[in-house]
Structure 1
Amino acid sequence: MPNERTAGEQPLPEGRFDGREAFDGIVRAALSAAVRQGWKELVLSDPDFADWPLGERASVEALQAWSASGRRFILLAQRFDVVERNHARFVPWRRMWDHIIECRVVRAEGSNAVPSAIWTPEWCAHRTDPERSRGVSGFDPRARRELREAIDESWRAGRPAFPASTLGL
């Protein structure tokens, strides 16, 4: 049955969330759902990903299990130095799966702030107040469309960043 879950599976949350623990749980649930449901595309967007649980073993294991041919992973940020510094397990995974990952950096100017969000074709989570980790998540098609439009707008203003390797002469 499609709605049955095995022990330890986290359902994708719907509605408002408040606080760092709630947001961390949402990220973990999203990565787990990406594996279970075989999402073809996963978009993570945040000014710097400083307080995301990307460096956790479980997060990288979920991303590894999700990674496959035909997948697309998009990372959008205002800066990636925090990712490199704070998410030691995530960085090697990013290097290994460079062929499915696109990273862009956006200079935040005025209303061009990068949203703090997770977007998938079926579900999304948007931290409307990243400082307090408050926001909303769910399956609403209109909310997903509006969030994707905001992400796409930032994406167009960005430039490639966070390379898998640094080549030098």
Structure 2
Amino acid sequence: MERQSFDTRAGFQAALDAVFGRARLTLKMFDPDFASWDLGSVRNDALLRAFLRGGGRLQLVAHSNVRLERDAPRFLRLLQDYGHLIECRVTNRSLRHLTDSFCVADERDVVRRFHCDFFRGEVNLDEPSSTQSVLERLEGIWAETAPGLHAVVTGL
């Protein structure tokens, strides 16, 4: 078991790198807009592609996907390439007050930010007991969502 706190963008990104790199089966994420997750970066694209190539499944829930659509073209290509393994959902209006942020991998590793406007949070590795409440919370959020981002192929 390993638990570490972070309070910077670099610390948050390092925690995500660790969790993305360890994931084999599932990555489940919630953030109001994923603006600070750098899902469109070269590094995260490589980590997520390796995860999905191995047959992993990715679930994202956001209040809005506008930032991903506008700022993360690599993530949109990832969605196009692996849409059968990625599910993006959008919360109902009744949940828009939620401001925390988290990622759970394989029901054993979790990265949590206590508020989406700040980088203060913690990462817990190999600690399934710490993920249980986060997973239950995600199930509740998931039940109040609608389909979100989809792979779209456009052409002339």
CA deviation digits over 1:34-88, x for unaligned, max 9? 2xxxx11111211000011211111101111111364211011001110011112
Query: 1:27 deviation in Å?
Result: 1.4
Name the structure where helix makes up a greater proportion of residues: 2
Equivalence for 1:56: 41
Larger radius of gyration: 1
Q: Measure the CA separation in 2 of the matches of 1:118 and 1:13.
A: 16
Q: Measure the CA separation in 2 of the matches of 1:140 and 1:79.
A: 30
**What is the number of residues matched between the two proteins?**
152
Equivalence for 1:22: 11
Q: Measure the CA separation in 1 of the matches of 2:18 and 2:118.
A: 19
Percent identity between matched residues is 26
Equivalence for 1:123: 109
Give the structure-2-normalised TM-score: 0.87
Q: Measure the CA separation in 1 of the matches of 2:13 and 2:2.
A: 12
SS of corresponding position for 1:47: coil
Give the structure-1-normalised TM-score: 0.80
CA RMSD for the aligned pairs? 2.2
The reply on whether 1:144 has 2:131 as its aligned counterpart is yes
Query: 1:33 deviation in Å?
Result: 2.1
Alpha-carbon contact 1:113-1:154 (below 8 Å) kept: no
CA deviation digits over 1:107-166, x for unaligned, max 9? 353686264111022210111122121112213333200001111111000011101127
Structure number with higher relative contact order (C-alpha < 8 Å, ≥ 6 residues apart): 2
Give unpaired runs (5+ residues) of structure 2. Answer: none
Structural mapping, 1:1-169, within 5 Å: 14-34=3-23, 39-68=24-53, 70-109=55-94, 113=98, 115-120=100-105, 121-138=107-124, 139-165=126-152
